[in-house]
Structure 1
Amino acid sequence: MTFSIVGRCEKTGQLGVAISSSSIAVGARCPWLRAGVGAVATQNVTLPALGPRVLDLLEARRLDPSQALKQALDADEWREYRQVTAIDAQGRTAFFSGKEALGTYHAVAGDQCVAAGNMLAGVHVIEAMPAAFADAQGTLADRLLAAMRAAMAAGGEAGPVHSAALKIVGDLSWPLVDLRVDWADDDPIGQLGSLWAAYKPQMQDYVTRALNPTVAPSYGVPGDE
């Protein structure tokens, strides 16, 4: 029902998650990020609480992702139904797929990234993602979306994909990017890419507006001078 990639940019330290699913509004339940700490994707039969739990363990106890993931899952009696991936601010990764994960499932770590999915057309779908992430040029968002497109080109899920999300954190306490296609009958990953293409040239302007409104650019709308 879901495939995803969590990744880190070595140049900027940004952390991100790109994810898609046959279910509605995957971005509301599955990607969890904290600036300077890590990024987590919790999927399959999703327990959203696992995302914050792993991030708390990474931050407060200074555990590595494997330790944090194990401790978080040890407290979940239904852990065998979960699929979770994590990356920390140093680029260390971890993943877990329970034996009750749906359909064909797989997870694989790459350089500064880890990808996972379930109900897949085949394990090769996930195998394609770290390579695409490594080969892609541009921002972290560009590279995460390249990995998602590679997964779809390799066959994607066993059924139709209906929602997709892209979330990235940088140096600030709020997300730098938080884009979602909550439901689409056709090509939500392509629609997500279009959202990113529209948002990308404006992204820094919104940071500027938040930090120093006196130098914020005008967009020419009524009341915006």
Structure 2
Amino acid sequence: MTFSLVARCDQTGMFGVAISSSSPAVASRCSFARAGVGAVASQNVTDPSLGPLALDAMESGMSAWEAVEEVKQRSRFIEYRQLLAVDRDGNAAVYSGPNSLGIWAQTSGENVAAGGNLLANDGVPHAIVDAFIGSSGHLGDRLIASLRAGLAAGGEAGPLHSAGMKLVDQVSWPVVDLRCDWTQECPIELLVSAWKVYKPQLNAYVKRALDPRAAPSFGVPGDE
């Protein structure tokens, strides 16, 4: 019911996850990232505990592949899960259990991994990774372009209803956490609209958190 990618920007070290599904609020259950550590997507009959577990393993020094293997050893019902991870060195790993739903597929490249289940066809993750590798610019733009490429390649077998994107960079909180939790429209395009609004303000929100004295004006009535 889901297709996603996890990725690292080799220019900035920023990590991100982008995901879409026919299920509601998919990003709230499946997207995990930690600045300086990595990004993880846990999906397919989702166990949200796998995301923090994989990030903890990578923070302890494990590679993405080692972290995925650690999660496989420590988790129950792993045969039902899909797990995607990318680490601080750009290593990417994907595991899909044999009980993944419908047509499922996975692929990875340097700084990126993609996977999905209940897909329209098994070429969707390859289209996502190809789009990411062939792109440049801000990681958020690259994630959304890759998600769109997955949709154009067929996406999920059924209609999509939710989507999200999470980015982390140098601070302890996500610098971007945008979601469309339910819609009858295309959630990916609604995510695109939210990103167009948020992207120009991203750095200002970080500055306000770190030092409000040096922050740009808020741009609201009464602000001077």
Where on the TM-score scale, by shorter chain, does this alignment land: which range? Answer: over 0.9
Could you list the structure 1 runs, at least 4 aligned residues long, displaced by more than 6 angstroms after superposition. Answer: none
Q: Is 2:92–2:110's contact at 8 Å kept on the other side of the alignment? A: no
Instruction: Return the alpha-carbon distance in structure 2 between the equivalents of residues 37 and 213 of structure 1.
Output: 27
Instruction: Return the alpha-carbon distance in structure 2 between the equivalents of residues 79 and 115 of structure 1.
Output: 18
Q: Which residue of 1 aligns with 2:63?
A: 64
Q: Which residue of 2 aligns with 1:74?
A: 73
1:16 matched to 2:1? no
State the SS of the aligned residue for 1:217. Answer: coil
- One-letter amino acid of the counterpart of residue 193, structure 1: V
State the SS of the aligned residue for 2:47. Answer: coil
- One-letter amino acid of the counterpart of residue 85, structure 1: L
Give the superposition deviation at 1:222. 4.4
Instruction: Return the alpha-carbon distance in structure 2 between the equivalents of residues 220 and 110 of structure 1.
Output: 41
Give the superposition deviation at 1:220. 3.6
1:187 matched to 2:186? yes
Q: Which residue of 1 aligns with 2:174?
A: 175
Q: Which residue of 2 aligns with 1:48?
A: 48
Gaps of 5+ in 2: none
**1:148-193 deviations in Å (ceiling 9; x for gaps):** 0001111110001100000010111111111000011111000001
Give the superposition deviation at 1:110. 1.6
Q: Which residue of 2 aligns with 1:143?
A: 142
State the SS of the aligned residue for 2:54. Answer: helix
**1:90-111 deviations in Å (ceiling 9; x for gaps):** 1011110000000000010022
- One-letter amino acid of the counterpart of residue 19, structure 1: I
Q: Is 1:50–1:73's contact at 8 Å kept on the other side of the alignment? A: no
Alignment of 1:13-162 (within 5 A): 13-60=13-60, 62-162=61-161
Give the superposition deviation at 1:125. 1.1
State the SS of the aligned residue for 1:3. Answer: strand
Instruction: Return the alpha-carbon distance in structure 1 between the equivalents of residues 153 and 72 of structure 2.
Output: 30
| More displaced stretch, 198-207 vs 62-71 | 62-71
Gaps of 5+ in 1: none
Aligned length: 224
Instruction: Return the alpha-carbon distance in structure 1 between the equivalents of residues 219 and 76 of structure 2.
Output: 54
Identity of aligned residues (%): 52
TM-score between the two structures when normalised by the length of structure 2: 0.97
Instruction: Return the alpha-carbon distance in structure 2 between the equivalents of residues 124 and 145 of structure 1.
Output: 18
- One-letter amino acid of the counterpart of residue 128, structure 1: A
Q: CA RMSD in A?
A: 1.0
Instruction: Return the alpha-carbon distance in structure 1 between the equivalents of residues 215 and 140 of structure 2.
Output: 24
Give the superposition deviation at 1:137. 2.8
- One-letter amino acid of the counterpart of residue 49, structure 1: S
Instruction: Return the alpha-carbon distance in structure 2 between the equivalents of residues 67 and 186 of structure 1.
Output: 39
Q: Is 2:27–2:164's contact at 8 Å kept on the other side of the alignment? A: yes
Q: Is 1:44–1:102's contact at 8 Å kept on the other side of the alignment? A: yes
Give the superposition deviation at 1:119. 0.3
State the SS of the aligned residue for 1:7. Answer: strand
Instruction: Return the alpha-carbon distance in structure 1 between the equivalents of residues 32 and 188 of structure 2.
Output: 19
Instruction: Return the alpha-carbon distance in structure 1 between the equivalents of residues 110 and 185 of structure 2.
Output: 31
